[in-house]
Structure formats: structure tokens, C-alpha cells
A = this chain, B = another copy of it.
């Protein structure tokens, strides 16, 4: 591979991984994915280590995270004992699946918190002073507002599947 080709990819790796990192995704995972995305051939851990100038362990850990997300896959290369990887280039699908997974987890947590809140409101209602009635009314209103927001967000997330990609 000529030098200007590697330069082309390396520049993209640097620039694009900045965006990835700014979105809260591990920078090294981003670098690895981008490197593989633009490479014409699968790369071994050693090659990735050399290209990104980071430690072998670091590459190993992060490539397996990418594997878990189905963002890269291991490729068998005859006559070599090394693990080679190539990118799954369906980037948008990977992003949306991960997004959905992450948000659904949070929604489930939120459900627990909301139920907890509702139970507490019931028990406050038992100490049935005039003051407590007013206060619980307000709490109830606000908990319902949170519930409504969650419902809307769930619906929004669900609607992604109708989007014509």
C-alpha cells in the first residue's frame, strides 16, 4: 500500500474519531472502526496496534467491544494464526440498534423509579392532613408528566422502524 493511501485513511481516522469521541463513545473503539471501515483488507491486531500507535491490550479490549456491538467481525485467513478483523459497514444500523438498546434499558429503569414514586405517594396520602393532600396532588401531577414523557420517547424510538432507510 502506498503511503498516500495510508495517510488518507489515517487523517480520516483522526478527524472522524473526534466526532465519535465527542458523542461519548470510546475514542479507541471509534478509531478502530473507522480504520477498518476504510481499509480494503482485514487487519490483524498487530497492524491496528501499529497504525494507531496504541498498546496491543488496548486494541484487544476495544476490538472485542466492537465485536459485541456487531460492528466488526473476525475473519479467518488461511495460514495465519492471527485474528483478522473487518468492519461491518452498515454503520447506521449499528448505531440505531445500540441507541435503541441503551434507551430501552433506561426506560425500564425509569419505570421502576416511577412505580416507586407512586407507592410513596400512596403512603404519604395515609397521613391525610390538608397539607399532605395538596402536596401529593402536585407530586402526582409531576410523576404523570414524567410518565407521559417516557411514553412519547418510547413511541418516538419505536417509530424509527418505519423510517425508510
Measured CB to CB, the residues of A under 8 A from B are: 2, 4-5, 8, 11-12, 15-16, 18-19, 22-24, 37-38, 40, 89, 91-92, 106, 109-110, 113, 116-117, 120-121, 124, 127, 131-132, 135, 138-139, 142, 145-146, 149, 152-153, 156, 159-160, 163, 165
Q: Cβ of A37: which chain B residues have Cβ within 8 Å of it?
A: 142
B135 touches A40 (CB 8 A): yes
Beyond contacts A11-B116, A37-B142: 7 other A-B pairs, Cβ-Cβ < 8 A, are: A2-B132, A4-B127, A16-B110, A23-B106, A40-B135, A89-B142, A91-B146
The CA-CA distance from A7 to B116 in the complex, in Å, is 13
Residues of chain B with a CB closer than 8 A to A11's CB: 116-117, 120
Number of identical monomers bound together in the oligomeric complex: 2
Q: Which residues of B contact A38 (CB under 8 A)?
A: 139, 142
Interface pair A117/B40, CB less than 8 Å apart: no
A112 CB to nearest chain B CB (Å): 8
Give Cα A64–Cα B125 distance, bound, in whole angstroms. Answer: 36
